[in-house]
Amino acid sequence: MKHQKLITTPDISKRMSKIKSKHNKVEILLAKALWHKGYRYRLNYKKLPGSPDIAITKYYIAIFVDGEFWHGKDFEKHKLKIKNNKDYWIEKIQENIERDISNDNQLKEQGWIPIHFWSKEILRDVEHCVSIIDDFVDLQKMNM
């Protein structure tokens, strides 16, 4: 029987500190794919609610690359599986979900289209994600 290493709070803190919130591999992958299609954008655009990871200002499209854990993908199912510091993480992720909804509503009020992609969705098929953005750009062009 293998001996499992006990994961301590300092170990978890060290691991969490390595997670990048901006310019991570997935965001860069999507941004480069959009750049190669000719889209010009702002990264982490602080002038908008939620500081979208990618903002195509010409077409008022705000794109968010959401980590599955942090933004609560299938949260009702997955929150039951959280083992360490359960109360803290459930509250934290619930706040993130509520903030995302609030930011989306503010963006819509300002005439922007918020689009969210899960990180794994982009990794699995970045071209499909770009085609979704293309569709919204076409929609915005028709409304201009």
Does the global pTM surpass 0.85? Answer: no
Position 15 in a domain: no
CATH code of 42's domain: 3.40.960.10
Strand bridging mode 42-43 / 113-118: unpaired
Give tens-digit pLDDT for 25-84: 999 999 999 999 999 999 999 999 999 999 999 999 999 999 988 888 888 777 777 778
* Residue corresponding to tokens 């359960």: 86
Position 14 in a domain: no
Read off the amino acid at residue 135.
Answer: D
Position 50 in a domain: yes
3-state secondary structure at position 11 = helix
Domain that holds residue 119: 20-143
Give tens-digit pLDDT for 131-142: 999 999 999 999
3-state secondary structure at position 13 = helix
Task: Establish how many alpha carbons lie within 13 A of residue 116's alpha carbon, considering only the half-sphere containing its beta carbon.
Answer: 15
Position 4 in a domain: no
Position 44 in a domain: yes
What sign for the dihedral angle of Cα 96, 97, 102, 108? positive
> In total, how many domains does the chain have?
1
Position 90 in a domain: yes
Contact 122, 30 (CB under 8 A): yes
Position 56 in a domain: yes
